[in-house]
Amino acid sequence: MIAVLHREEVLQRAWSAASSVVDPELPMLTLLDLGVLRDVEVAEDGAVVAAITPTYSGCPAMATMRDDLLRSLQAAGFSDARVRVALEPAWTTDWITPTGRSALAAAGISPPGAAPRRSGPVALSLAPIRRAIRCPQCASEDVALTSEFGSTACKAHYRCLACLEPFDHVKEI
Amino acid sequence: MAEVHTHEADDHESAYAGLLVNDAHWAFGTDFEDPLAGVDTTVPEGIEPATLAAYCLMLGDDALVLSQRLSEWCSRAPDLEEDIALANIALDLLGQARLLLARAAKADPSIVPALPDGSPVPDEDRLAFFRDDLQFRNVRLAEVPNGDFAQTIVRVLLFSSWRLAVFERLVRSRDSVLAAVAAKGIKEMAYHRDFAARWFLTLARGTEESRRRLVAGLDQLWPLWPELFETHALEREAAEAGVAVEPFEVSAEVQVVLAQVFAASGIDRPERGALAGIQGKKGRDGRHTEAFSLLVAELQVVARAHPRGQW
């Protein structure tokens, strides 16, 4: 019983340490709120193992995320910590938490809508993607897509036709 | 009295102050020793590890080589948005290549080039930077020079339409790593295909000059198109073991997608035959076009100059 309690306490403290780590490119968001931190567990050898998944295959921030997680876990007293990659299931923007969405909006980044649900082959889309989004600065709905590819792989670039500010939008995937 | 310039003021004025405080953040992406850390890389039963590795190299090399070509557009695209879009597409492909090359190395470590003792270069980098041109298994469509923007758009359209269809089937691979790479890749390839298809339409219906360039680019690349649907003996072997996709399977579906784009654009399907191989051997066999050795040389020169380099 004591061993079980201890294990749960350890797990709780490890989750808490891992959950405080922020994304290196979206520092207003924790890895947990971004849906990148998938799991924290205590391995058979007693090590704390955190699992992360890349947002995009070429996500260049994975190494930094790993280092930041290890640093945070070590600072919380887990000298024996590891980070593993969880490739499956693939990350989706639906995993960004409500807290994460609010944090994005507060930082001037338009949060994603619902990710597309697909059955069968992906249909070709020759017209620009229409999204019902608002300018994160002035809340106007009068916005225009500048490019489907923005400052990072996970964002599209928009401009607001009301306040004329450009802004990023996290693409639904 | 002359104004005293303090360090504090300097720091405040310099946009670069503070950027060097934490060097770790500038080492993005190069030091995750193992992109498959903790992933189960057991080779499924019923397939030769060498066959699985070769198949991973085929899909990985396609992505690596096209990524390298697309990266040549960096700072040279018609405008900033398209520059960033092409760089983003190249980055997605590079990420796919990294996972696939790492998976190939895990399946069959004997394919990984040997380097001096103590070299910190990870397996996937060894495969990318220390194989010779004849050891690359990419299709030749991925390697030919970019041409102009229109021709680049045609290539991205052809390549992403094909790869998306392959990935949609590869999610059922008995190799869990390939299945996971495919599931993630579908989302990326769908964006690439839509980007290219929209530009195809825009250029076709744009000016006389944009249309002329598009048609010329399509004509130029068309002879390389059939190669993507030819099944190599190793692909057949891997497919029979439930690990790979035989590319001819996706042909009908991909031709329908292209026909849609051509119809909307008012462009005729070119009538040009396939580019022959060398004694029947093509990209999947390691036989490439002349331009490929130059691409490989540029890709590899820095890494080869520093086989013990830490990046």
Helix, strand, coil percent content, chain A, rounded in steps of 5: 30, 20, 50
The two tokens of residue B18 are 């503070």
Rounded to a whole number of angstroms, the distance from the CA of A86 to the nearest CA of chain B is: 7
Taking the domains of chain B in order of start, what are their residue ranges?
46-267+280-305
- Touching A: B residues 92-111, CB under 8 Å: 92-96, 98-99
Q: Which residue has the higher pLDDT, A148 or B137?
A: B137
Which residue from B160, B152, B190 is spatially nearest to A171, judged by alpha carbons? B190
- Touching A: B residues 230-249, CB under 8 Å: none
pLDDT digits (tens, 9 = 90+) for A92-119: 999 999 999 999 999 999 999 999 887 7
Nearest to B35 among A56, A85, A146 (CB): A85
Nearest to A173 among B98, B187, B257 (CB): B187
Helix, strand, coil percent content, chain B, rounded in steps of 5: 65, 0, 35
Say yes or no to pLDDT of B17 above 70.
no
Give residue A75's pLDDT.
95
Cite the DSSP H helix spans in B72-120: 80-107
Coil, strand, or helix at residue A83?
Answer: strand
Taking CB atoms and an 8 Å cutoff, what residues of chain A touch B264? 126
Mean pLDDT over the full length of chain A: 92
Say yes or no to pLDDT of B72 above 60.
yes
Say yes or no to pLDDT of B18 above 70.
no
A52, A149, A168, best to mutate vs chain B, most B CBs in 10 Å: A149
Say yes or no to pLDDT of B46 above 50.
yes
d(CA B251, CA B112): 32
Give residue B310's pLDDT.
78
Q: What is the fold, at CATH topology level, of the domain defined by B46-267+280-305?
A: Ferritin (1.20.1260)
Give residue A120's pLDDT.
80
> Mean pLDDT, to the nearest integer, of B95-106?
97
Taking the domains of chain A in order of start, what are their residue ranges?
2-91, 95-116+129-170
**Strand residue runs (E) in chain A:** 37-42, 48-52, 81-85, 109-110, 143-147, 155-160, 166-170
Tell if the CB–CB gap between B260 and A87 is shorter than 8 Å.
no
Give residue A130's pLDDT.
87
Classify domain A2-91 at the CATH class level.
Answer: alpha beta
Taking CB atoms and an 8 Å cutoff, what residues of chain A touch B262? none
DSSP string, B46-70: TS-HHHHHHHHHHHHHHHHHHHHHH
pLDDT digits (tens, 9 = 90+) for A55-92: 998 888 888 999 999 999 999 999 999 999 999 999 99
pLDDT band at B16 (very low <50, low <70, confident <90, very high): low
d(CA A34, CA A55): 9
Taking CB atoms and an 8 Å cutoff, what residues of chain B touch A40? none
B21, B41, B88, best to mutate vs chain A, most A CBs in 10 Å: B88
Say yes or no to pLDDT of B209 above 90.
yes
pLDDT digits (tens, 9 = 90+) for B261-294: 999 999 999 999 999 999 999 999 999 999 999 9
Taking CB atoms and an 8 Å cutoff, what residues of chain A touch B31? 63
Give residue A121's pLDDT.
85
pLDDT band at A150 (very low <50, low <70, confident <90, very high): confident
Give residue A7's pLDDT.
82
Taking CB atoms and an 8 Å cutoff, what residues of chain B touch A172? none
Taking CB atoms and an 8 Å cutoff, what residues of chain B touch A86? 38-39
Cβ neighbors of B81 (< 8 A, separation 6 or more) are A146, A147, A149, A157
Give residue A4's pLDDT.
61
With b for 16 or more beta-carbon neighbours within 10 A and e for fewer, the B13-24 pattern comes to eeeeeeeeeeee
User: What is this model's ipTM?
Assistant: 0.90
